[in-house]
Copies of this chain bind each other. A is one copy, B any other.
Amino acid sequence: MTFALAIERLALTRGHRRLFAGLDLSLRAGDLLSLTGPNGAGKTSLLRVIAGLLAPTEGIVRIRTDSGEAVDGEDRARLVGWLGDRDAVKPQLDVGEQLRFWAKLYGTPAPEPEAFGLKPQLPGQYLSSGQKRRLALARLVLTGRKLWLLDEPLAALDDDGKALLAGKLTAHCAAGGIAIAATHDPLGVDGLTLRLGDA
């Protein structure tokens, strides 16, 4: 048995607008999926549904863990690594403090900020857009979760940052993880693609 994600007949309607319906998807350990589609197609919404943060209108999302256990409902949350479209960076804390906090919360070791091109003493308030994105990426990596959900991970990253991201994605999938990334640009890593509703 290996880690796997199965989505069946998933549908979501937000404020009278049907974003997607009858969506089926199955991914296995090692798969990387690029989620594309026009602005407002529902990429972010789909990621939230998969994470269990948003209830779908219909359908189910189920994860099979390495031990063969089928996990759905709220328990899914414990398997998800999240990189949202907002950076969740606190202006009052410095880079090191933020990483240590999340590491403690997720019960994993905190990574070296330098490995992500960040200075540990820099306060969140002074970070440039790309530096914030790098911090968010570091936080994703530290969760150690097997299902990564990334929302526009390339935003604000420079070439070096993009290579860093590609490296992390490759390593994650090679280690038996699954990653789904909503993006408008190529991730620089081979993988599957799902295009959501062209309006």
Nearest CB in chain B to that of A39: its residue: B130
A156 at the interface (CB under 8 A from B): yes
B39, B156, B157, B160: the one contacting A134 at CB < 8 Å is: B39
Interface residues of A in 144-169 (CB under 8 A from B): 151-152, 155-162
Chain A 110-145 against B: per-residue CB contact (8 Å), 1 yes, 0 no? 000000010000000011111101100000000000
Given A40-B128, A128-B40, A129-B152, check contact A158 B184 (CB 8 Å). Answer: yes
Nearest CB in chain B to that of A160: its residue: B38
- 12 further A-B contacts with Cβ under 8 Å, apart from A39-B129, A39-B131, are A14-B126, A37-B158, A38-B158, A38-B160, A39-B128, A39-B160, A40-B127, A40-B128, A40-B131, A129-B151, A157-B184, A158-B184
B15, B117, B160, B184: the one contacting A156 at CB < 8 Å is: B184
Query: What interface size band does chain A fall in?
Result: 20 to 34
Q: A52 to chain B: closest CB distance in Å? A: 20
A contact residues vs B (CB 8 Å cutoff): 14-15, 37-40, 43-44, 85, 117, 126-131, 133-134, 151-152, 155-162, 184-185
CB-based contact B158/A155 at 8 Å: no
CB-based contact B131/A161 at 8 Å: no
CB-based contact B129/A15 at 8 Å: no
CB-based contact A128/B161 at 8 Å: no
CB-based contact B156/A39 at 8 Å: yes
Nearest CB in chain B to that of A44: its residue: B128
